[in-house]
Chain A
Amino acid sequence: MNSFISKQTVWCLTLAAVLLWLPAGAARAMHGNASIAGVTGTAFQFTAKADHITTGDGNNVFFWGYANGGGEVQYPGPTLIVNDGDTVTITLVNRLPEATSLVIPGFAVTASGGQPGLLTREAPPDGITTVTYTFEANRPGTFTYYSGTHSDLQVEMGLLGAIIVRPSGYVAADPMSWTAYGDERSAYDQEYLYLLSEMDLTIHKLAEQGLFDQIDTTRFWPVYWFVNGRTAPDTMLDDDVSWLPHQPYSAMTMMNAGERVLMRMIGGGRDSHPFHTHGNNFDQIARDGWLLDEGGGNRAAEVGFIPDKSVSDFTQTVSPGGTYDAIFVWTGKGLGWDIYNGSDAEHMMAVLTDANGDGFDDTTFEYIADHGKPFPVVLPGQQEVTFGAFYSGSPFLGAAGSLPPGEGGNNPNSGFAYMWHSHNEKEMVNNDIFPGGLMTMVIVDAPGGGVMP
Chain B
Amino acid sequence: MKTLNAGFLGVATSLLLLFAAPPLQAATVTYNLAATAGTVAMPDGASVPVWGLVQGANLPLTPVPVLTAAAGDDLLLNLTNNLPEPVCLTINGQQTANPAGFAVQAPTPVFFADANGRNRGRSFTYETAAGGGTASYAWTNLNPGTYLIGSGSHPSVQVPMGLYAVLKVDVAPNEAYPGELFDSEATLLFSELDPVLNQAVAAGAYGTATYPTALKVGYKPKYFLLNGRPWSASSPPLASVTAGETVLLRLLNAGLRARAPIFPGQALTMLAEDGKPAGFQPIQVTADLFAGKTLDAVFTAPANAGYLPLHDRALGLSGGGMLGYLTVGTPTVALDVTVTGPGSVSTTSLPGGIAACAAGDCSASYLADTAVALHALPSGPDSALSSWSVNLTAGGTPTGECIGGGDCVVTLDQGKTVTAIFANYAATTLISPNGGEQVPLDQTMPIRWAAPADVYTFDLGYSPSPGSPFRMFANRVAGREFLWDLATANLRPSSAVRLAIVGYDASGAIVDRDTSDTPFALVSPLQLTYPNGATGEAAIVAGDPVTITWDVRPTVIPVVRGTLWFQASTNTPWTLVADVDPILGSYAWTAPATPTAGATARMALTLYDATGKVVANDTSDAPFRIEPPAGPLAATSRRTLTATTTVAAAVAEPADLVLLIPNGGEILAGEIPFTILWQDTTQAATFVLDYSLDGGQNWQSLATAIEGNQFDWIIATELRGSNAVRLRITAVDAKDAVLARDLSDAAFAID
Contacts and interface: CB of A to CB of B under 8 A. Distances in A.
Contact of B371 (A95, A115, A216): A115
Contacts of B485: 127
B410 to A, nearest CB: 10
Given A118-B348, A127-B485, A287 B282 contact: yes
A51 interface: no
Contacts of B260: 267, 319-322
B67 to A, nearest CB: 29
Interface in A373-394: none
A105 B288 contact: no
Nearest to A119: B309
Interface stretch (A106-114, A174-182, A353-361): A106-114
Interface in A80-129: 93, 95, 97, 103-109, 115-120, 125-128
B267 A320 contact: no
Interface stretch (A288-296, A334-342, A412-420, A428-436): A288-296
Given A116-B372, A128-B442, A319-B258, A70 B558 contact: yes
A321 B286 contact: yes
Contacts of B709: none
A290 B283 CA distance: 6
Contacts of A289: 285
Interface residues of A, number: 50
Interface residues of B, number: 51
A105 B315 contact: no
B487 A127 contact: yes
B501 interface: no
Contacts of B558: 70
B444 A126 contact: yes
B556 interface: yes
Contacts of A309: 280, 282
A287 B285 CA distance: 8
A106 B350 contact: no
A119 B350 contact: yes
A287 B258 CA distance: 18
B514 interface: no
A267 B285 CA distance: 13
Nearest to B370: A116
B444 A127 contact: yes
A317 B287 CA distance: 12
Interface of B (DSSP majority class) = loop
B295 to A, nearest CB: 12
A333 interface: no
Contacts of B554: 45, 93, 128, 130
Contacts of B316: 152
A115 B440 contact: no
A272 B267 contact: no
Contact of A320 (B284, B302, B313, B350): B313
B285 A116 contact: no
B44 to A, nearest CB: 11
B262 A217 contact: no
A425 interface: no
B311 interface: yes
Contact of B222 (A117, A218, A270): A218
Contacts of A93: 554
A292 B2 CA distance: 16
Interface stretch (B248-256, B317-325, B461-469): B317-325
A126 B743 CA distance: 37
A405 B97 CA distance: 73
Contacts of A70: 558
A143 B318 CA distance: 25
Contact of A218 (B262, B286, B318, B323): B318
Contact of A127 (B288, B348, B442): B442
A97 B483 contact: yes
B553 A128 contact: yes
A27 interface: no
Given A105-B262, A127-B485, A271 B371 contact: no
Given A127-B444, A218-B221, A319 B288 contact: yes
B220 interface: yes
Interface string A276-317: 000000000001111010100000000000000100000001
B30 interface: no
B409 to A, nearest CB: 5
Given A108-B265, A151-B317, A319-B260, 16 more contacts: A105-B264, A106-B267, A109-B265, A116-B350, A117-B350, A118-B323, A120-B264, A127-B444, A128-B440, A128-B442, A128-B554, A150-B317, A270-B313, A270-B314, A270-B315, A288-B285
15 contacts: A106-B267, A107-B265, A108-B265, A109-B264, A116-B349, A116-B372, A118-B311, A126-B443, A127-B443, A128-B554, A151-B315, A267-B286, A320-B315, A321-B285, A322-B284
Interface of B: 2, 220-222, 231, 258, 260, 262, 264-265, 267, 280, 282-286, 288, 302, 309, 311, 313-318, 321, 323, 348-350, 370-373, 407, 409, 440, 442-446, 483, 485, 487, 553-554, 556, 558
Closest 6 CB pairs of A and B: A321-B313, A116-B349, A270-B315, A322-B286, A288-B285, A105-B264
